[in-house]
Amino acid sequence: MQNFKLIIEYDGTTYHGWQRQKDVPTVQGTIEAALETMTGRLVTVIGSGRTDAGVHALNQVAHFFVDTRLTPEIFIKGLNGLLPGDIVIKDCQVVARPFHARYDAWSKAYDYYIWNRPIPAALFRQYAWHVKKSLNLNTMRKAMSCLKGKHDFSAFQATGSPRFHAVRTVMDVSLTANEADGHLVFSIEADGFLRCMVRNIVGTLVDVGTGRVSPEEFENILMSKDRKQAGITAPPHGLFLREVKYGPSLSEAA
CB 196 within 8 A of CB 159: no
- The candidate with the shortest Cα–Cα distance to 162, out of 170, 171, 153, is 153
Q: 207 catalytic, yes or no?
A: no
- The candidate with the shortest Cα–Cα distance to 91, out of 36, 9, 3, is 9
Rounded alpha-carbon distances, angstroms, from residue 197 to 44, 76, 154, 159: 27, 32, 9, 11
**What H or E segment, with its residue span, contains residue 65?**
strand 56-66
**Catalytic entry in 11, 23, 52, 181:** 52
Rounded Cα distance between 64 and 8, Å, is 13
Catalytic residue IDs: 52
